[in-house]
Amino acid sequence: MDTIVIQPTGLEQAAELIQHGETVVFPTETVYGLGADATNPDAVLKIFKAKNRPADNPLIVHVSSLSMIEEVTSDFNEVAKTVAKHFMPGPITLVLKKAAHIPDAVSAGLPTVGVRFPKHPVARELITKAGTPISAPSANISGTVSATSFSDVYRELNGCVGGIVCGDDCEFGIESTVLDVTGEIPVILRPGSITLEMLQEILPKTRLHPSLIEGTEEKKPASPGMKYTHYSPKAEVVLVYGKMDTIISHFESHLDEQECLFLFSEEYDTFSKNKMCLGTKTDLSQMAHEIFRLLKRADLEGYQKIYIPAVEEKGIGLSIMNRLKKSSGGKVLSL
């Protein structure tokens, strides 16, 4: 299929494609999204086809105002309103009871729907101009790494979608926090840039879904999407645990030609072999911003194996490690 590349100044064309039941890729502050009219079941099916996404994995519905949340859910409750007041628009998705007119294809048959009010001006303008909520998963082939730049998304989805909006690089770089607010206690189903600590400041009872806590017996995935292979580049990913100076000296003598080490800026200049920079370790939001882009770049450069230093699993570090544990399929190296 012919894919039209659309400038952010020409969103009328993108909105028309959405209104005609086509798919459009657009930038958000988290990752690029692959959108279609959330009220049109045929359009929604095109998303699943373009991504090769399993039909039992529900989509997030994107809105451009708080009042639009009322249209897609049947119970915009007080807990949800409190979260919305503090963090919307922004990188968070609320799981709420679904309104009857949202097709089953969107919610994968669940009685709930994930709703996100993005902060990105292009995403918001597109939804407003289309005049309909837009369901959108991350814009990547299922199982691969989410795209955070126009060039990455174009390489992966050109020819598979109706249009691609040529936007800027995504600010946060990892997908939104998914928070179940259907019960009295808010439960994080997928950690993101709005962290557990930030949510607990306004709703102290907020907790992580048991499957996200190391050492628990919970095997049931937090949300349907969490059971699938995810965030996998072509290269093998290995998480490395240990002190940074030990890691550096180990890889100075153990890194093959086809392998690459991801490093923080503090150590970057001291390492002489294949390397990519994660930003400073004193601000892990830089690592979140870079990580998906670097995984894709490592594939493009033909590396077979990527070593990534593990980070402390708190704050945004928890969200980064949630993605990297899936990328690595549990492969670790302790030094």
Q: Which residues bind ligand TXA (CB under 6 A)?
A: 28, 30-31, 33, 57-60, 93, 95, 107, 110, 112-114, 116, 136-138, 175-176, 178, 189-190, 223-226
Tokens 């994080």 identify what position? Answer: 188
Burial class (CB in 10 A: 0-12, 13-18, 19+), 269: exposed
Dihedral in degrees, nearest 10, Cα atoms 14, 40, 118, 314: -130
The answer to whether 175 and 193 have CB atoms below 8 angstroms apart is: no
**Which one of ligand TXA, Mg ion, none is in contact with 113 (Cβ closer than 5 to 8 A by kind)?**
ligand TXA
Task: Write the CB contacts of 199 (distance below 8 Å, at least 6 apart in sequence).
Answer: 83, 177, 179, 186, 188, 206
In angstroms, what is the minimal distance from the CB of 61 to Mg ion?
15
Count of residues binding Mg ion (CB under 5 A)?
Answer: 1
Specify the residue, 190 or 296, whose C-beta has the smaller distance to ligand TXA: 190
* Interface mask toward Mg ion for 123-162; x: CB under 5 A: ---------------x------------------------
Specify the residue, 107 or 138, whose C-beta has the smaller distance to Mg ion: 138
In angstroms, what is the minimal distance from the CB of 81 to ligand TXA?
18
In angstroms, what is the minimal distance from the CB of 230 to Mg ion?
7
**Which one of ligand TXA, Mg ion, none is in contact with 107 (Cβ closer than 5 to 8 A by kind)?**
ligand TXA
Specify the residue, 114 or 163, whose C-beta has the smaller distance to ligand TXA: 114
Considering only CA atoms, which of 83, 153, 73 is closest in space to residue 107?
73
State the residue number with the nearest CB to ligand TXA.
Answer: 225
Hey, which residues does 307 pair with through a beta bridge? 238, 261
In angstroms, what is the minimal distance from the CB of 265 to Mg ion?
28
Specify the residue, 161 or 178, whose C-beta has the smaller distance to ligand TXA: 178
Question: How far apart are alpha carbons 195 and 230 in whole angstroms?
Answer: 21
Question: How far apart are alpha carbons 196 and 325 in whole angstroms?
Answer: 18
Question: How far apart are alpha carbons 242 and 252 in whole angstroms?
Answer: 15
Q: Is the preceding omega at residue 89 within 30 degrees of 0, hence cis?
A: yes
State the residue number with the nearest CB to Mg ion.
Answer: 138
Specify the residue, 223 or 285, whose C-beta has the smaller distance to Mg ion: 223
Residues of this chain that bind Mg ion (CB under 5 A)? 138
